[in-house]
Structure 1
Amino acid sequence: MVYMQKINRDHKVRNYHQAKWDEPIIFELHKIGERGVTLPATEEEITNNVGDGVSAIPLEMLRKTKPNLPEISQNRVLRHYLRLSQETLGAAFNVEIGQGTCTMKYSPKINEAFASSPKMSELHPLQDESTVQGMLEVMYKLDLCMREISGMDYFTFQPGSGTQSLFTMASIVRAYHEANGEGEQRDEIITTIFSHPSQAATAAVKGYKIITLYPDKDGFPDIEKLKAAVSERTAGFVVANPEDTGIYNPRIKEFTKIVHDAGGICNYDQANANGLLGITRAKEAGFDMCFFNLHKTFSTPHACGGPATGALGVVDKLMEFMPGPLVEKQGEKYILNDRLKHSIGKVRSFQGVPQTVLRAYAWIRALGAEGLKDVARVAVLNNNYLYHKILNIHGADAPYIKGKRLEQVRYSWEKLTKDTGVTTEDISHRMADFAHHYWSSHHPFVVPEPFTLEPTESLSKADLDEYIASLTHIANEAYTNPEIVQNAPHNSTIHRVDEQDYFENPEKWCITWRSYLKKTNKTETINS
């Protein structure tokens, strides 16, 4: 805070200080006998009619011990979670531009009302399809919307993420070639260095050899290298366009034709399609499959890593290989078709996350066709405004193609780092002092000292100006007093974590309270 008070800053840079609570985890707040709710005894008439509610349960389904849950009063539970919420930045709290390839945008709160309605929350995935006709109708109609947006012929909403969609694509590619007697022969998948690492990773999990295309001098995937790479061993090609740098390849149809001529299947990663809605489609670009992340482009919230949905579409020749069942309309009824001849089988339980499907459907219906185009237009406008402003910040750059980018850009602080020693990680910590989140890049760091920004259509010019002002202010600090940035954050809930191997060292992971007790050699349990 002292640093902020000494500096005469532009008024757009907020004087922000995050709340900090020395808050225990909820298991440590446990007190034996404390209750949030005390349930009344069951009335005798009810017990006589339905029993005690436990005796009818088979013995093998009964727990041997009580669940190890904290005993705590309502007001202390409320206080606990409100305090934690004050220590958190998020898309609904601050100007959120810095999640990069994860597309943070405003999610209409009316859609949350739809998703939390008892008509939705009380559904059960094992209900007979005749009792869930409304939800099946929503899924079917969202499928039709996605077909129109992409040009694909069939969609499934079963995959639980973009990465799981990529895995599903790789599985369909393998099943397709095996059905044609070429499964052993076609063992190579081609991708690009700028595409998301999950593209190569998921194909590798399916046993494919990965061929990676590097950029030409302009930053586009090298088409001559693609021509040299395709062969009778090519199973498929998977690419994001625009890629994670924000560069859109206008020659993409030439790429898909080269792969098709070699007998491969073309897969389109459209996890971030914010700049393309109503403008271009996967079909016209020559793709056989594509997927959209409903929790990105279609405005369903990430919700701390879930619930997510990868909406996966395929052309007609691949329909029989999709994970089933698919929702179809039969007369006036909606049915689940699980009679797919070559189906790869389920990739997730039941039908995925119906609440996410409902939110996305409501968002599309509220906007309509022209509204979707406006999303793309404003997202591109916002991004290019941000792009040109950031290139005016001393020490910032955007490698490769100069000029227009699409809906996001991977920038670089390489010059600033060489001049001052301040790194992109330092700047990410300092941004938290001004209530901003800031995302660098996934590995590999193909752009030096990267930071990846995507403003989407949700932000106003004033929002963008505030974010730009904070970046400009921090860049000036780096050149005039770098220690301020290198020692940040100053106004956040925590300071830097000194140990850098906490993500890579399983011995330091404590996913549950039970694992924490074991790894800290604490033998006491919550009920002791």
Structure 2
Amino acid sequence: MTQLFPQTSTVDTATLETNGTAPAAPLSPFTARHLGPTADDTEAMLTALGYATLSELIDATVPTAIRLPHALKLPQGADEATALAQLKTLANQNQVWRSYLGLGYANTFTPAVVQRNVLENPGWYTQYTPYQPEISQGRLEALLNFQTLVTDLTGMEIANASLLDEGTAAAEAMTLAFNARKQKDAKTFWVSAACHPQTIDVVKTRALPLGIEVVVGDHQTLSFDTPVFGVLLQYPATDGVIYNYEDFVTQAHANHALVTVAADLLSLTLLRPPGEFSADIVVGNTQRFGVPLGFGGPHAAFFATRNSFARKLPGRLVGVSKDTYGNPALRLTLQTREQHIRRDAATSNICTAQVLLAIMASMYAVYHGPEGLRAIASRIHYQTQTLAAALTEAGFELGKEPVFDTLRVGVGDRQAAILTRAANHRINLRILDAETLIIALDETVTEADLQDLITVFTGDLNSEFKIQNSNLTHSLTPSLPHALTRTTPYLTHPTFNRYHSETEMLRYLYRLQNKDLSLATAMIPLGSCTMKLNATAEMVPITWPEFGQIHPFAPSEQTPGYRQLFADLETWLAEITGFDGVSLQPNAGAQGEYAGLLVIREYHQQRGDYHRNVCLIPQSAHGTNPASAVMAGMKVVPVACDEDGNIDVTDLQAKAEKHSENLSALMVTYPSTHGVFEAGIAEICAIIHTHGGQVYMDGANMNAQVGLCRPADFGADVCHLNLHKTFCIPHGGGGPGVGPIGVKAHLVPYLPGHSLTSGVGGKQGIGAVTSAPWGSASILPISWMYIAMMGGAGLTRATEIAILNANYIAQRLAGHYDILYTGQNGRVAHECILDVRPFKKSADIGVEDVAKRLIDYGFHPPTMSWPVAGTLMVEPTESEAKAELDRFCDAMIAIREEIRAIETGESDRNNNLLKNAPHTAIDLVSDWDRPYSREQAVFPTPFTRNAKFWPAVNRIDQAYGDRNLICSCAGMDTYSEA
């Protein structure tokens, strides 16, 4: 574990503690910056709740039986400068070499205007998933650009708003093909050996629990003698060869197999798109569109297919609808595809996207435009041809042609000498076998880089190969066969042809940003989503080149800083949760769920308990839980909840006894999905263990546990952690995320491994669940900084304040709204559920009406209709000050009075402030025939008059967009005509 520098100064702890309550160690100066309430605020809120001290509130809220008896054993919290200096020391241990390793990853130039104004801009990275489209139009437009980019370049009809990584996308394609297969006896998925090896690994991991057989081979010899439901091809192949797959695709279709092509998106500016040779699905990675390597992530994968599969498409999809004025408006469309709605009938547990990275990739395309992208690709291809000619002249045997950016070089017994010279030049080459090397070029390669590569291979320090036309020009003609050359236009929409000067690009980015409500605007009180502060000091390191410009498969001796960072985080997270081992590989919460269940499955199978496949899941659970269980090959059995929202222990006992012989696991969220600490959690875990099962805890609500109790201590065997919730990685508009898992000692041997990197996972580890060994490695410094600056005492105080803030809101709103569930002593955990269902009968006001009206008050609405339909789940987090909490409560109380006016007949039942919300600037200048004033509509408080956030569109017609599906930039005329 890294030892942080000793504290040279700390803030006066009296300013942070309340009435004698003191943490085990001094609070760091950063803690005061992270926490919203001041000492006076804390005292005032405690008084309102009827407690003298913060510890009294915690004692009344968290069951005594599960309380952690000692302080967290973590380094003392550091100030920002100290933590940054220590992390910089780790970063400096990494060596940034020139990596020509390929494998689907390429170095790239992030346009400075995109780096500064998107990646480093809290107006973009602190947004939440665009479930409230009226205040998400900017990022929805950026995602529509992304979808257009993908459909245009792939030649497909529809694309989603991104997936986690290329391996995951390929696995999702396999699942889609499996569920759509015409021959129900076909259980074989055929994969080309020319695919990237990490993709093959992820596909194999996903296939195993579903009973799918993965066969890897040469597409040139496949005969389809046995039924195959789908095939996966790489275009270009992992060793660089560009195959003409047209005849193979025809043969596959003749044998009822769907064809997935994993494609390099940049190459498709030059190559014939897969859609033109009848591919059914196209997947890949957009990393080389301006997104740093980041040691493997996060990057935005893509998934494109035909319209006939639109409702089977995994992940999210942005579509065009209209608002109440008939104006075009964007929204997430085909919402029935959201897998958490389907629960155990889901075909995927993916409920997220890599939004921030997809936006970066789309803006890279907007910035360069079609001609610029083609010029970049042409330059890379020309450099590859030049290097190939030089190596051939030097006597090396190259692989098959044509190629785009990657060369297979036969080096014979010269390999060791070449690798030694490469190391002397700080160059990484991919070793294919004992006599073969791979070189993959990218847009950052210069004439000097090419000269170094030639020197490395030839050993001739005096060789000179001048590169003609090496600048970005339009005169470079690709050397590709006509059958493989792209002839169709792409990115013809004005958006991709308008913003090529930095002035125009900057204004475009800010126009979009101003249409979205982020944490830079106001509190986002989304229950179960934990939208807390993402401190600037935590964000700074992710753009350091020592973290951002390292290839995920760079040799381990070049990444000791990363390895130490991983070791620190694993140690710290293990202490926080009580577990014995941690895997950082899963790159989303749902991915963590899946990985945890696979670990449990492997544990049972290693013991010979192959029959254990029943997973008990409370009916209140998030829908990704049953979806993940099905993906892990388990049979879902629901468990009832009682009238207080807790697990019905009697029903659980009965189900556990009934399925005792086959019981694999229980999936449970703690605190509960209903936002309370269930007093019987230890008993619940014990019941499962008695019947031979394992307890999987969903860590979505870990924000209420850190420093107070630990999952492993009260009975959990596995737990995933949402680093993008509890540990401050920003949501980025719906991604990135990290979902590591912690496990007890008996499960450590089964943690996920990786075939391309040693030292990852357990000795009997399950296969890789993500493409990169450590998933989204480059954003892990955010959580490292958060824990390092807070320390054990600060993390504990954050949990206490999160619970205080939630209970304060519940207390203030009680009497105006029913608080649906409370735990012992009438207290909630870190969130509370407001019941607005009675208003449907009393005033014909539904939960959506309340949510949209809250936008007029300048807030993002809380989580709607989950876990209970017709309710609002509110989570304020520890980062919001009392003034913001009061502003929110005042708004909710004012809205209650607006509802009361409807109930009494003072306001019209059909034409009122709530039914017409949200109100926009267009309302101010339109004909006004409403029975309330414009001022009431748009300026309901003095705060909104001084700091108004204007929704970009009026309320959106949700159903219209599904009936008239448009999911790419087709021009505004097309939208209107639809």
Does the alignment reach a TM-score above 0.5? yes
Match of 1:497? 956
For the residue of structure 1 that corresponds to 2:702, the secondary structure is coil
The alignment yields a C-alpha RMSD, in angstroms, of 3.6
Are 2:577 and 1:150 equivalent residues in the alignment?
yes
CA distance in 1, matches of 2:517, 2:505: 21
Aligned pair count?
Answer: 484
For the 8 Å contact 1:237–1:259, the answer to whether it is kept is: yes
Aligned mates of 1:57, 1:344 — CA distance in 2: 43
Give the conservation status (yes or no) of the 8 Å contact 1:323–1:343.
Answer: yes
Residues 236 and 509 of structure 1: CA distance in aligned 2, closer, same or farther (over 3 Å)? farther
Amino acid at match of 2:710: R
- Say which is worse superposed, 367-376 or 163-172, in terms of deviation: 163-172
Q: Cα gap change, 1:342/1:77 in structure 2, threshold over 3 Å: closer, same or farther? A: same
Flag the 1:260–1:420 CA change in 2: closer, same or farther, 3 A.
same
Indicate conservation of the 8 Å contact 2:515/2:952, yes or no: yes
Residue 666 of structure 2 aligns to which amino acid in structure 1?
A: F
Instruction: Tell me: CA distance 1:314–1:63, structure 2 relative to 1, closer, same or farther (3 Å).
Output: farther
Conserved? CA contact 2:581–2:748, under 8 Å: yes
1:222 is the counterpart of 2:645: no
Residues 1:440 and 1:421: Cα distance change in structure 2 (over 3 Å): farther
Amino acid at match of 2:698: D
Secondary structure of residue in 2 paired with 1:210: strand
Query: What corresponds to 2:626 in structure 1?
Result: 200
SS at match of 2:617: strand
Q: Deviations over 1:313-342 (max 9, x none)?
A: 111111222111499xxxxxxx94147443
Q: Partner of 1:248 in structure 2?
A: 677
Aligned equivalent of 2:635: 209
Query: Structure 1: which 5+ runs fail to align?
Result: 1-16, 328-334, 523-528
CA distance in 1, matches of 2:763, 2:867: 42
Q: Is the 8 A contact 1:375 1:457 kept in 2?
A: yes
1:7 matched residue in structure 2: none
Which structure's CA Rg is the greater one? 2
In the alignment, which of 517, 522, 533 is matched to residue 89 of structure 1?
Answer: 517
Asked if structure 1 preserves the Cα contact closer than 8 Å seen for 2:822 and 2:828, the reply is no
Amino acid at match of 1:308: G
CA–CA separation in structure 2 for the residues paired with 1:314 and 1:123? 29
How far apart, in 2, do the equivalents of 1:406 and 1:470 lie? 22
Shift of 1:263: 0.5
Instruction: Provide the secondary structure at the position in 2 that maps to 1:171.
Output: helix
Task: Report the Cα offset of residue 50 of structure 1.
Answer: 5.7
Structure 1 residues 151, 257: closer, same or farther in 2, change over 3 A?
A: same
How far off is 1:310 after superposition? 0.3
| In 1: Cα distance, 2:832 partner to 2:966 partner | 33
Q: 1:342 to 1:34 in 2, by over 3 A?
A: closer
| Aligned mate of 1:466, from 887, 902, 910 | 887
1:12-48 deviations in Å (ceiling 9; x for gaps)? xxxxx99999x99878999999989x99x99999996
Q: Distance in 1 between matches of 2:486 and 2:644?
A: 65
How big is each residue's C-alpha offset from its partner over 1:97-124, in whole Å with a ceiling of 9 and x where there is no partner?
A: 1x21111001111121111112211111
- Relative distance call for 1:164 and 1:509 in structure 2 (3 A) is farther
Counterpart in the other structure of 2:735: 306
Of 239-248 and 206-215, the range deviating more from structure 2: 206-215
Query: Could you tell me whether the CA contact under 8 Å between 1:396 and 1:415 is conserved in 2?
Result: no
Determine which of 803, 815, 835 is the counterpart of 1:392: 815
Give 1:422's match in structure 2, choosing from 831, 845, 848. 845
- Could you say which residue in structure 2 is the equivalent of 1:479? 900
Question: Aligned partners of 1:320 and 1:221: how far apart in 2?
Answer: 31
Q: 2:467 aligns with which of 44, 51, 60?
A: 51
Matched position secondary structure for 1:190? strand
Q: Could you tell me which amino acid in structure 1 is paired with residue 965 of structure 2?
A: K
Deviates more, 1:239-248 or 1:368-377: 239-248
Aligned to 1:189: 615
Query: Do the aligned residues in 1 keep the contact of 2:576 with 2:707 (CA within 8 Å)?
Result: yes
User: Residue 501 of structure 2 corresponds to which residue in structure 1?
Assistant: 73
Q: What SS does structure 1 have at the residue aligned with 2:851?
A: helix
AA matched with 1:410: I
Q: Check whether the contact 1:321–1:342 (CA below 8 A) recurs between aligned residues.
A: yes
CA distance in 1, matches of 2:663, 2:875: 33
Distance 2:581 2:626 in 1: 24
Contact 1:433 1:490 in 2 (8 A): yes
1:478, CA displacement in angstroms? 1.6
Unaligned 5+ residue runs, structure 2?
1-133, 150-365, 380-444, 452-463, 902-906, 921-950
Distance 1:281 1:446, change over 3 A: closer
SS of the residue 2:582 aligns to: strand
Q: Any idea what SS the aligned residue of 2:511 has?
A: helix
> Does 2:765 correspond to 1:343?
yes
Q: Secondary structure at the match of 1:93?
A: coil
Conserved in 2, the CA contact under 8 Å of 1:18 and 1:86? no
Q: Secondary structure at the match of 1:291?
A: strand
Match of 2:965 in 1: 508
Where do residues 158-173 of structure 1 align in structure 2 (5 Å cutoff)? 158-173=585-600
Match of 1:14 in 2: none
Alignment check: 8 A CA contact 1:176 1:318 kept? yes
| Counterpart residue number, 1:122 | 549
**1:337 is paired with a residue of what secondary structure?**
coil
- Equivalent residue letter for 1:158: Q
Q: Quick check: 1:274–1:376 contact (8 Å CA) kept in 2? A: yes
Give the Å deviation of 1:64.
Answer: 3.8
Deviations 1:327-380 (A, max 9, x none): 9xxxxxxx9414744322111111111222110011000000100100111000
Secondary structure of the structure 2 residue equivalent to 1:269: strand
Conserved? CA contact 2:675–2:821, under 8 Å:
no
67-76 or 358-367, which deviates more? 67-76
After superposition, give the CA deviation of every residue in 1:261-290 in whole Å (9 maximum; x if it has no partner): 101011111122111111100111111111
Amino acid at match of 1:419: S
Q: Deviations over 1:221-270 (max 9, x none)?
A: 11111111111111101100112210111221111111111010111111
Q: Deviation at 1:194?
A: 2.0
- Quick one: distance in 2 between partners of 1:278 and 1:93? 30
Cα deviation code 1:416-447 (max 9, x no counterpart): 222111111011111111220113346xx553
Structure 2 distance, partners of 1:470, 1:368, is 35
Q: Is the 8 A contact 1:92 1:106 kept in 2?
A: no
Change (3 A) 1:396 1:252: closer
Deviation, 1:189, is: 0.4
The CA distance in 1 between the partners of 2:806 and 2:608, in whole Å, is: 46
Q: Secondary structure of 1:508's match? A: coil
Shift of 1:137: 0.7
**TM-score calculated relative to the size of structure 2:** 0.46
- Give the 3 Å change call, closer, same or farther, for CA 35–435 of structure 1 in structure 2: farther
C-alpha distance 217-272 of structure 1, shift in aligned 2 (>3 A)? closer
Please name the residue that 1:281 is paired with.
710
Q: Secondary structure at the match of 2:667?
A: strand
Residues 255 and 63 of structure 1: CA distance in aligned 2, closer, same or farther (over 3 Å): farther
Q: 2:453 aligned with 1:453, yes or no?
A: no
Change (3 A) 1:56 1:290: farther
Residue 419 to residue 43, structure 1, CA distance change in 2 (3 Å): closer
TM-score by length of 1: 0.83
